[in-house]
Chain A
Amino acid sequence: MLADIVIFGTIWGAIYTILALGFTLIFGVARILNLAYGAMYLVASYLIYTLVTRFGMPAPVAWLLAVAATALAGMLLYRLFIFPLRDTLGRVLIVTAGMAIFLQEVAVLLYSTEPRYVPTLLPGSLEFLGVRITHQQLLTLVVAFALVALLHLFLERTRYGRELRAVAQDAEMASLMGIPVERTYLVAMGLSTALAAAAGALVAPFLTVSPEMGWSPLLVAFTVVVLGGLGSLWGTILAAFIVAYAEMFTAYLISPQLRDAATFAIMIGTLVFRPHGLFGKGIVE
């Protein structure tokens, strides 16, 4: 049982890390609390399902195309709907919640409420410490760590990355220094959406794809960011693993039905007792 908790907690921790990094990126840089974030995870999953089952595309190609297309869709949504309202947090919340519900209803209309599946990229499984892990889950772990490393390199070593960090610290000053702030926001939105899409694409093969699938990752991403604090890569990673292990402990030792309740408890507890999170700046200021 302990091996199950450690192994599955690690896999979920890796997935939660990329989910939360995308969410914190767009909030940290552009102060956009994107409630349509989970919907991007949904869009990517349905895109892969469509590309593979209706157009017969090989799964890896569909996976890459779907992530790229979702990132573009995220940028388009930003330009059309978020940009005009960006100055008011309340309006952004309402418009992004509206987008999430709209995309969910579109999924119902196009695909019905029947669960769909995303084909496995890597079939097969292996046994480790008495626990059977699918190759897909291992791939998820490897890709998630690779994405975190790539994001770290991007933020530290590239011009765009430095611009993103500068805008996150002080948008006005960055603008005065000649950094194109609007373009930076757009890049942040694209990256953020791509991370949500990648998480969806990785997870969908071992879960199922259904229209309401976007809400649970949104809750997780929000909780991880609240716990980890804003602006700290390591804080986010640590918080993602704390949430994942807490969920697994609750599910295995008490009841699997309380898994989401554990997430909520962490979120509420952090907001009440440590509103600035473990590291960095708090989401509530």
Chain B
Amino acid sequence: MDRSAFVRAVALALALPALALGAPALAQTGPIKVGVIGPFKLTPGRDIQEASTLAVEEINAAGGVLGRKLQLVFAETEQSPEKGKTAVERLLFVDKVDVIIGEHRSEVSLAVQPIIAENKKIFLSTGTASPLLSDNVLKDYAKYKYYFRTFLNANQMAEQMQLQLTDMMSTYKRERVAVIAETAVWVEPIVTALKQSLGSRLVALERVSTNAKDLSVELSRVQSAKAQIVFVILAADAGLPFARQWADRQIPALVTGYTVMAQSDRFWEQTEGRAQAFMTWKHGVRAPISPKTIPYWDRYTKKYGHVPGAYTNFATYDGVYILVDAIRRAGSLDSDALVKALEATDHVGVSGRIKFSKRHDPEAGPEFLPFTYIQWNKGEMVTVWPPKMKTGEMQMPAWIK
């Protein structure tokens, strides 16, 4: 054996045990990697990014979990199922994350859910609503048990939305309702439920593409149907032209429902004030939902210079804490142990009390996740529903008596 061959052999002999033992040893002392997916350039994604960052900073400042710090690894999905798959594969196989959280579009979550499940990693969705995701848990528990969600599914949302709509119809004596809903997978259960419950009081149903730029035709049809309330279901960008055109055209119908763009702190500026009296359901408001809610709202606002925007904000912040709590109780990062720990969750967070159902969705209702509505009034988001939590009175648009 010549000298260089001898050196190589010794190096190899020393390296092998290190490779065999050292890698897991390192993995257990390094940070716990949390993969975060979402469209970070949009408000719902920005909120996933900022809320998870704040939660992780707080948890790490308090010593982390199991003696280890948390480290976030962000992967952009751009609302595209294909880009979402690439992002998740990168997180799983290149960054080797321990768990994955986030996402805002159901189409993306549905595309990545099987990949994460096959790799037996926890996927805690903090912003997608399609019931198909949690149907999978019921249908094939062994494969999909790793999926959880800190945000309501669309069936739960439909039930709660109808409560508010019925209340609005009786309080303001409005009988004729139009629905403007985007064509997306999460919307279908809500539209079906509204059709059934409203019957002949549903005077117009308009479906729009998620990238619609002009809703003037839909608004004309709503107006000619003499609708008194327009129930909006728009998670995508179309919420912005809708609001601008609703005010410009002075459509004589009150707005309620769910407009994601209207949950953003930038909405007032984006509509140049046309959002006055525009109402939307908003998950996460500055109201005493739990003792943690208002302090979190203020802490967040101080850190980022703007108020929590989209519904993903509270769902993500609570999601990180629920995950950490489960890791602590499981005592490891083993996914099966984490599933058991997550199933036993009973967490009071900033969005309310979160307990997972058999479908791994959070339980809905006032004692769990309250359903709150905001209305834009002079540049501020004011909580106007339910009456128990309102921080201001409902306003009428200037052109409606």
Contact = CB atoms under 8 A, between A and B. Distances in A.
A208 B217 contact: no
A252 B217 contact: yes
A252 B221 contact: yes
A120 B272 contact: yes
Nearest to A116: B270
A114 B43 contact: yes
B208 A256 contact: yes
Given A4-B224, A208-B237, A256-B208, 12 more contacts: A1-B221, A117-B240, A117-B272, A132-B250, A134-B249, A206-B244, A207-B241, A208-B240, A248-B217, A256-B215, A257-B209, A259-B217
15 contacts: A8-B216, A8-B220, A113-B39, A115-B261, A120-B272, A125-B248, A125-B249, A132-B249, A136-B248, A210-B213, A213-B213, A251-B217, A252-B220, A256-B206, A256-B217
A137 B43 CA distance: 29
B78 A117 contact: no
A208 B207 contact: no
B241 A4 contact: no
Interface string A198-212: 000000001110101
Interface in B201-226: 206-209, 211-218, 220-221, 224
A212 B213 CA distance: 11
B387 to A, nearest CB: 33
Given A114-B237, A206-B244, A252-B217, A119 B208 contact: no
B41 A114 contact: yes
Nearest to A123: B272
Nearest to B183: A257
A4 B220 contact: yes
A216 B270 CA distance: 23
B162 interface: no
A257 B208 contact: yes
Contacts of A158: none
Nearest to B213: A207
B42 interface: yes
A112 interface: yes
Interface in A20-67: none
A58 to B, nearest CB: 15
Q: What is the size category of the interface that chain A forms with chain B? A: 20 to 34
Contacts of B39: 113
Interface in B269-284: 270-272
Interface of B: 39, 41-43, 78-79, 183, 206-209, 211-218, 220-221, 224, 237, 240-241, 244-245, 248-250, 261, 270-272
* Interface-centre pick from A131, A206, A252 (highest chain B CB count, 10 A): A206
A116 B220 CA distance: 24
* Interface-centre pick from A132, A136, A212 (highest chain B CB count, 10 A): A132
Given A112-B41, A114-B41, A208 B213 contact: yes
Contacts of B41: 108, 112-114
B213 to A, nearest CB: 5
Contacts of A251: 217
Contact of B250 (A112, A125, A136): A125
Contacts of A114: 41-43, 237
Contacts of A8: 216-217, 220
Nearest to B209: A257
A210 B221 contact: no
Contacts of B218: 256
A263 B203 CA distance: 29
Interface string A83-127: 000000000000000000000000010001111110110000100
A60 to B, nearest CB: 16
A282 B247 CA distance: 43
A119 B270 CA distance: 9
Interface in A197-250: 206-208, 210, 212-213, 216, 248
B241 to A, nearest CB: 5
A117 B220 contact: no
Nearest to B271: A117
A132 B250 CA distance: 7
Contacts of B211: 210, 212
A210 B208 contact: no
A213 B214 CA distance: 11
Contacts of A259: 217
A210 B213 CA distance: 9
Contacts of B248: 125, 132, 134, 136, 206
B274 to A, nearest CB: 9
